[in-house]
Structure 1
Amino acid sequence: MPRTIVIGNISLDHIHRPHHPPVRQLGGAALHLAAAAARAGLPAAPAAAVGDDLAGLAGDPRLPALDWSLLHHAPEPSATFTIHYDEAETVTAVTTDYGAARHLTSHTLHLIDRHPQAVFHVSCRHPLDVPAVLHALTEHGRVFSLDFHLPSAPQLIPAAAPWLHHATTIFVNAQEHALLTRHTGSPSPCPETVITDGPRPARVLLHGHLPRSAAPAAVPTVRQITGAGDTLAGTYLAHRARHLPPAAALDRAVHAATRHTTRLPLIIPAPRRAPS
């Protein structure tokens, strides 16, 4: 099974939810998605630009075995995101200091050139130059999937539109899917489009047809929200790489995302790994 290189941010997040104390935690789409893919059996390498403040990622005992060789270590601090949610668990505001993540585009273009056998997943977020990255992937004939994030989707979906039909899979939420359909003229511009909708059933469209939906199970306590969509995407990609049908992969992905919300977040600082 080829290695999947997950392009995106790894960050220090400050999470604010109503009726919960603020939390400082480890986050970023590249981390959550690669970790979920690895837990589901897919060799995964997060490719991100981080500072010295995240130099200890490989030793964090809460993370699965990942290939950390593709991190770019920059002199700036790692990206930080302050994320506010409302009562419906919807993102209402994001404040960002990109820091080391400003090196991500040049690092990604280097990796696309150097790893012809890899499969790529692109988490389309600022400050990544998404058109440049998708153009390079297409020009080099690389296999790739991608996802979006609602705060930046209104800018990045139209910017990415010329290359979306080259992707194998696109992951969006319901609001992003409306934008995707508007800017591409198709509800599924690539072979598979996975659509999440919070606590409502997730769907997978195959060339625009709806073969199956999967509803998340109710959980007694939601401990975290950030990373649930990335967990779903990473798990789905892992099971599709093992040739499970889309409907079966979606069932497992929704279950993994639901389970993710019941886990404690990756609070900073991380516990030390016990000596072997």
Structure 2
Amino acid sequence: MQRTIVIGNISLDRIHRPGHPPVHQLGGAALHLAAAAARAGLTAAPAAAVGDDLDGLTKDPRLPTLDWSLVHYGPGPSAAFAIHYDEAEVVTAVTTDYGAAGHLTTHALHLIDRHPRARFHVSCRHPLDVPAVLQALTEHDCLFSLDFHLPSAPQLIPAATPWLPHAATVFVNAQEHALLIHHAGPSPCPETVITDGPRPARVLLHDRAPHVAAPAAVPTVRQITGAGDTLAGTYLAHRTRHLPPAAALDLAVHAATRHTTRFPLTIPAPRRASS
């Protein structure tokens, strides 16, 4: 299967949820999305710029097999995010230290020039220069999809609007979808996947009725961060295998629900068992 290059951050996160102690864990859209895509059978290569504090990432036994060849290791620490959620599982604040991720735009543009025939997914987050990356993908006639993150969506959705008609799929949550409609209209690309936390997800298409998929109830939610990226990566993997949008969304919602029941990728990672 054709490789999908996932442009985005891999980070060291500190997660704050009401009623839970803070959790220090691996994060970043490029990591969660690529891992979910790989679990669903896609050859996925995260394209991120990280520091040497993540030089053991490729040996983490909790991650599926990924193509790590496109990760750029630069000077300084990796990106670090402190993410705060409220009782409704909505992000209320994000504190950022971009670190080595400041090199991501240059790295992404270099990869687009080197791999113009690859599929790409772009996680539209700071500090990525989203217009520059989407312009390069469009000029190379690359097949690409993209997603947003609510804290930066008010800036990055309007910045991305000129290139949205060229995207195969756009992933947004309910609040981001309202911004998307405001700036780009109700149908900016062939497929729009809309998530809404623990509420039903939808896929909107130009030529057919929306399909809705409701997540199953789970007894214990162990993590929230990465659920939307898991849904996106799983959906992309199944669409790449030519499953219809409705079937792909059903599988993606199931994968995202299962993700919330797993223990987060806490730091440090456990050692691999010796053979």
- The separation in 2 between residues aligned to 1:88 and 1:204, in whole angstroms, is 22
- The 3-state SS of whatever aligns with 2:89 is coil
Deviation at 1:76, TM superposition (A): 1.1
Structure 2: give runs of 5+ residues left out of the alignment.
Answer: none
Deviation at 1:198, TM superposition (A): 1.0
- 1:242 — aligned with what? 241
- 2:210 — aligned with what? 211
Structure 1: give runs of 5+ residues left out of the alignment.
Answer: none
- The 3-state SS of whatever aligns with 1:229 is helix
Residues 1:137 and 2:111 are matched in the alignment: no
- 1:157 — aligned with what? 157
RMSD across aligned C-alpha pairs, in angstroms? 0.8
Equivalences, count: 275
- 1:260 — aligned with what? 259
- 1:230 — aligned with what? 229
AA aligned opposite 2:76: E
- 1:198 — aligned with what? 197
Deviation at 1:200, TM superposition (A): 1.2
Residues 1:79 and 2:41 are matched in the alignment: no
Residues 1:171 and 2:168 are matched in the alignment: no
- 2:96 — aligned with what? 96
Per the alignment, do residues 90 and 208 of structure 1 end up closer, same or farther by CA in structure 2, a change over 3 Å counting? farther
Deviation at 1:85, TM superposition (A): 0.7
AA aligned opposite 2:60: D
Deviation at 1:272, TM superposition (A): 1.1
- The 3-state SS of whatever aligns with 1:190 is coil
- The separation in 1 between residues aligned to 2:233 and 2:129, in whole angstroms, is 22
Deviation at 1:108, TM superposition (A): 0.1
- The separation in 1 between residues aligned to 2:122 and 2:18, in whole angstroms, is 31
Q: Is the 8 A contact 1:2 1:117 kept in 2?
A: no
- The separation in 2 between residues aligned to 1:275 and 1:109, in whole angstroms, is 39
After TM superposition, the score normalised by the length of structure 2 is: 0.99
- Summarize deviations over 1:155-201 as a string: whole Å, max 9, x none: 0000000000000000000000000011012x221110000011111
- The separation in 1 between residues aligned to 2:35 and 2:187, in whole angstroms, is 27
- The 3-state SS of whatever aligns with 1:12 is strand
Deviation at 1:211, TM superposition (A): 3.2
- 2:2 — aligned with what? 2
Identity over the aligned pairs, expressed in percent? 85
Per the alignment, do residues 143 and 21 of structure 1 end up closer, same or farther by CA in structure 2, a change over 3 Å counting? same
